Amino acid sequence: MSGDFGVWLAAIATLAVFSYLWKNNPVFTLAEHLFVALTTGHLIVTAYFNIKEMAITPLIKGSVLWIVPIVLGILLYARFWKNLALYSRMPIAFLVGVGASLSVQGQVDASLVRQVTSTILPLNNINNILVVIGTVTSVTFFFFTVKAAKGPLASIGTIGRWMLMVAFGAAYGNTVMGRMSLIIGRFGFLMRDWLGVIK
């Protein structure tokens, strides 16, 4: 068993959260509140240093333009006062405007054009044929789900739906794998680092 106080603290925190599996209880509620406090606190600290390094330090050194994002950032907090809330629209407008344009840049090339060109494959083996048919039918399913109730588009859409079911099944299988890894990690900590029953 570990003699390190930090490991014991971590083990107690772990067991406090696991206690929820039996039923909700005050120990879990305390752990939950601590988790929220520390996670939020960590985010605030890292954001503080981000702002200090990128904006405040250059501003102090003479780059006056940095006052603009600092003011916009502070205006975000105007939402907490009813009579000042409308000023918080400006930083939101800025965030959304830049965010939307960056998103367009990324999506058009990588998620649209290159995905379409990657589907243009030589139909000389079954895998390529399946990828081409699967992609075309799933896109058709998305575009014409509502409108096409019967006819050839409906049949194409049906094939697309089956492809999507297989894709979601694969996603589900991987999700189970991912989630199980998390408890393997926690139990590994309890048994290895805390109790010392495994190496």
Give the footprint of other proteins on residues 41-70 (CB under 8 A): 41-51, 53-55, 57-58, 65-66, 68-70
Residue among 135, 144, 148, 154 that touches other proteins (CB under 8 A): 135
Residue in 24, 25, 60, 109 binding other proteins, rule: CB under 8 A: 109
149 lies in the site for other proteins, by CB under 8 A: no
Interatomic CA distance for residues 55 and 63, integer angstroms: 9
- Rounded (10°) angle between helices 5-18 and 26-51: 120
- The Cα–Cα gap between 50 and 44 comes to 10
**CB-wise, 17 or 154, nearer to other proteins?**
17
Among residues 115, 123, 149, 155, the one that binds other proteins under rule CB under 8 A: 115
| Residue 140 neighbours by CB under 8 Å, 6+ apart | 153, 156, 157, 160
Nearest CB to other proteins, comparing residues 151 and 188? 188
**Binding residues for other proteins restricted to 151-190, rule: CB under 8 A:** 160-189
Instruction: Check: CB of residue 167 under 8 Å from CB of residue 148.
Output: no
Range 89-108, binding other proteins (CB under 8 A): 89-108
Give me the residue label for tokens 């010392």: 196
